[in-house]
Structure 1
Amino acid sequence: MGVPYRGPDAVSPDDIVTLGQGDARWASQTALTAAQLVPVNSVTATYTLVLGDQGRAVEVSSATAVTVTVPPNSTTAFPIGTVLEIVQIGAGQVSAAAGAGVTISTAGAGGTTKTRAQWSIITLRKRGTDQWIAAGDMA
């Protein structure tokens, strides 16, 4: 499956992306820049993630503790591989909680999914139907 030849000026050197082992594909710089932007969903109270949060940063601004719940696949079917960020913007600690039947795995003993301090980030990645991995600045 080739790309039709459109002359020497059809693709500029800035449009070439090298993927490794000599494999190169082209994409516009504008498209690459847009793909790197992370939209923000701002919340101020207890919140349950929705499909619209996929690929977003959920910024939580509250003076008191807030829980962000990861819902079960049966109610909110995020695709496997989905990545989300949860960011503590306010003084209130943020907890990422597993909804019914959901498992959130973390490194280390205790398995906490609470932000450590203001500006801490928890990154969640879905690795199975109701299985998520949490990583980040957690206490």
Structure 2
Amino acid sequence: MAFDFSFDGSECVTCGGKCCTGESGYIFVNIDEMLKISDFLNISFDKFTQTYVKKVGYRFSFLEKKSTDGNACVFFDDETKKCLIYEVRPKQCIDFPFWEGYKRENIDEKTLKELYELCKGVKCLKKF
């Protein structure tokens, strides 16, 4: 049985950064996104990439830092529990928690519960 669900981004304000903290991983970002973020931060692209980005194979990822909740994205503010670049965050962050394995057609009751535990913004609308 599949479930209809939506995402309520207003929940991001109160969640405490579950998508930004935890186990080590990659926060992939492309060049267009990096340009947008460096502009948002009002720093040069070169300075931005040297300070906040690492190369992973042929891709780029934000650096991580230690956090009270394990590891965190370099742009996560531990004090306020908010993303410092939320307005211009990369697609990977925008798409969270709907990554591989959590595609709409694969959602069942167990998966929806997992999604909800990952992200309080996931809202079940109705069974169908």
Same fold? TM cut 0.5 = no
For CA contacts below 8 A with separation 6 or more, give which structure has more relative contact order.
2
TM-score range, shorter chain: under 0.3
Higher helix share: 2
What is the TM-score when the length of structure 1 is the normalising length?
A: 0.20
Higher strand share: 1
